Amino acid sequence: MTTLSFLWKLTRYRKGLFLWNALAWSLIYLAPIVPGLIMKQFFDMLTGHALYSFGIGALIAFLLLSALARVGFILFGFMTDVHFRFRLGGLLRRNLLKHVLKEPGARAIPGSSGEAISTFRDDVEQVEETVSWSADALGMMLFAAVSCFILIRIDAQMTLWVFLPLIIVVTVAQLSTAMLQKYRAASREATSRVTGAISEMFSTVQSVQVAGAEDRVIGRFKRLNAQRREAMLKDQLFTASLDSVFSNAVNLGTGLILLLAAEKMRGGGFTVGDFALFVYYLTFVTQFIQNFGKFMTYFKVSEVAKDRLLALLQGADPQRLTEHHPLYLRGELPEPEEPVRTKKDRLDVLEVHGLTYRYPETGRGIEGIGLRLERGSFTVITGRVGSGKTTLVRTLLGLLPKQAGEILWNGEPVTEPSEFFVPPRSAYTPQIPRLYSDTLENNILLGIRPEGERLRRAIRSAVLEEDLERLPQGLSTVIGPRGVKLSGGQAQRTAAARMFVRDAELLVFDDLSSALDVDTEWKLWERLEEQRQGAACLVISHRKAALMRADRIIVLKQGRVDAAGRLEELLETNEELQKLWHREE
Ligand SMILES: Nc1ncnc2c1ncn2[C@@H]1O[C@H](COP(=O)(O)OP(=O)(O)OP(=O)(O)O)[C@@H](O)[C@H]1O
């Protein structure tokens, strides 16, 4: 997608608003034409060259009126501009966020969250700026055309001297854009790395303290800042140099005009009013040249911004970035849609054949996994640390992109696991639950409104009801960023309640019980048994409470299925399971 078509598609999102904006800014830029002509009239009146004769009072009234009209246009222009660019930025951020939330978890963003935030903030703002400046560019061009017409009629040669600097500036700007783009990309990259480091530091405070790595972390942060300073300096220096080229070219032109005008006035073919008009318009022509250069710079820089925005899409259709969707800026927000359960969603049997995923960085992962889950079954995946348990469930659920294998839901192939394995078909609790700084209730519900007793039942199944009584405001307790006000076990059970309240057909637990004491874990599995109404459970665990309950155990070793069967047989035949079992003892 070219930058021009990208910006054009965005502009079309609010055509009407853009037209109003373009009209307002055209009027703002055209407005100085009028006082220029009034001034010419005034000086020609003084020297007796005036075509029409007005009193001084009338001229002052004209000047005041034109100034007032310009103030009105500016007010209107700023209003349309703010509304227009806010919607454009909103659309871009909405489309990006929608894409990020739809991608499989492991692929959601290509870099760190800090880098993504910098793209959401700075690059979107850059694009807004460019589109908003296109209205200015239009207004400036109109002013150039009209003033040029008036000035050429007075003196064509002089007019050339006004516009000559413009041609120089445009050429210089064109020639240097490639370099500017390079410096801008480098400075944005360096800023992203600094933001990324800040977000990493905040999210790993405890690990840094435990490892005693404060000095090294700060050292790295300082190095990143030094790199950013260097990149920013180059970027700013180059931009400022380009600016000074623009303004000096214009100053040079001004000097030439003054020399030429003096000569012509002595000859008598040029009135004082003409001179006043040239000098007056020159100020605006200067602004025009500088601003037009600025617009061209913005245009080039927005190419960098566009590329960084597209990088967040990770190869998805670029058109997704500019698709037109409502933003709901006024009135009530639409209710989130609760998934409707259909007959096809019911799980009778889930089969997996030859499932493979290897992490590109380490070449480790899972290879050729097969499994079969029937309605109401309880399957445990077990194995040593690093044997591939988490990779298996994440690949099955589409949170990692499978590299080979087939997944069949009631015999039907699942083509997009990341879109398919969501409630009401499936719900998942990861090893480390993701909780938010909100109330416990909102953390469990995440926007849905369960009817009747569903929430209370989910809380009971997750063995959370006693904790609720002890929390100061029960379900309305705000649990702090990432749920820091909860214990590890409470956080895991909150995540479990979030899963249970969705009444899914397939419940996937990744080591849910790792932070639970033995009694609580027994209670949890027992209550789940009473409540789950035919849902199949896929549970990663090496704990006895889960293994003893399993209809089928799958033992993983180095990414492959080492053995599968019931506990009693495996305890006799499988060495891996024997070791895990005895370690538990
Ligand atoms: N993000 C990653 N990038 C590269 N390699 C990874 C990544 N995550 C895991 N691995 C590797 O893949 C293999 C399987 O990891 P996985 O997390 O699936 O094991 P696991 O059995 O779930 O371990 P645990 O019991 O610690 O949760 C391991 O060798 C691990 O080093």
Whether pLDDT at 166 is above 70? no
Q: Whose CA is nearest to atom 25 of ligand 1?
A: 385
Pocket test for ligand 1, best of 107, 355, 359, 540 (most atoms within 8 A of CB): 359
Residue 7's pLDDT is what?
Answer: 93
Q: Whose CA is nearest to atom 18 of ligand 1?
A: 388
Percent of the chain residues past pLDDT 70, beyond the cut = 96
Instruction: Mean pLDDT check: name the lowest of 51-55, 70-74, 238-242, 551-555.
Output: 51-55
Q: pLDDT tens for residues 95-107?
A: 999 988 877 666 6
Q: pLDDT tens for residues 237-259?
A: 988 887 777 667 667 767 777 78
pTM for the model stands at 0.70
Do the beta carbons of residue 254 and residue 128 sit within 8 Å? no
Decide: 388 in ligand 1 pocket, CB within 6 A.
Answer: yes
Q: If phi over 0 gives left and psi between -120 and 50 gives alpha, with beta otherwise, what is residue 450? A: beta
Query: Atom of ligand 1 at shortest distance to CA of 394?
Result: 18
With bands split at pLDDT 50, 70 and 90, how would you rate the model's confidence at 148? confident
Residue 170's pLDDT is what?
Answer: 64
Decide: 333 in ligand 1 pocket, CB within 6 A.
Answer: no
Q: pLDDT tens for residues 197-225?
A: 998 898 888 889 989 999 999 999 999 99
Cα(360) to ligand 1 centroid in Å equals 12
Residue 105's pLDDT is what?
Answer: 65
Nearest to 401 by CA among 106, 149, 172, 81: 106
Q: pLDDT tens for residues 256-298?
A: 777 888 888 887 778 888 888 887 887 787 777 777 777 888 8
Residue 482's pLDDT is what?
Answer: 78
Fold of 343-584: Rossmann fold (3.40.50)
Burial of 58 (0-12, 13-18, 19+ CB in 10 A): exposed
Strands 365-374 and 349-358, bridge-based pairing: antiparallel
Same fold, 3-194+222-321 and 343-584: no
With bands split at pLDDT 50, 70 and 90, how would you rate the model's confidence at 562? very high
Q: What CATH number labels 3-194+222-321?
A: 1.20.1560.10
Q: Whose CA is nearest to atom 6 of ligand 1?
A: 359
Decide: 390 in ligand 1 pocket, CB within 6 A.
Answer: yes
Q: If phi over 0 gives left and psi between -120 and 50 gives alpha, with beta otherwise, what is residue 104? A: beta
Show the tokens assigned to 187: 């400075």
With bands split at pLDDT 50, 70 and 90, how would you rate the model's confidence at 48? confident
Residue 28's pLDDT is what?
Answer: 94
Length of the chain in terms of residues written? 585
Q: Where exactly are the structural domains of the chain?
A: 3-194+222-321, 343-584
Q: What is the DSSP secondary-structure string of 311-347? A: HHHTTS-GGGGT-------SSPPPPPPPPPP-GGGS-
With bands split at pLDDT 50, 70 and 90, how would you rate the model's confidence at 509? very high
Q: What is the mean pLDDT of residues 129-137?
A: 92
Residue 146's pLDDT is what?
Answer: 93
Nearest to 100 by CA among 119, 127, 84, 87: 119
Show the tokens assigned to 190: 């360096």
Residue 585's pLDDT is what?
Answer: 62
With bands split at pLDDT 50, 70 and 90, how would you rate the model's confidence at 42? confident
Q: pLDDT tens for residues 3-23?
A: 899 999 999 999 999 999 999
Q: Whose CA is nearest to atom 14 of ligand 1?
A: 388
Rounded to the nearest angstrom, the gap between the alpha carbon of residue 496 and the centroid of all alpha carbons in its chain is 29
Instruction: Mean pLDDT check: name the lowest of 161-165, 235-239, 468-472, 537-541.
Output: 161-165
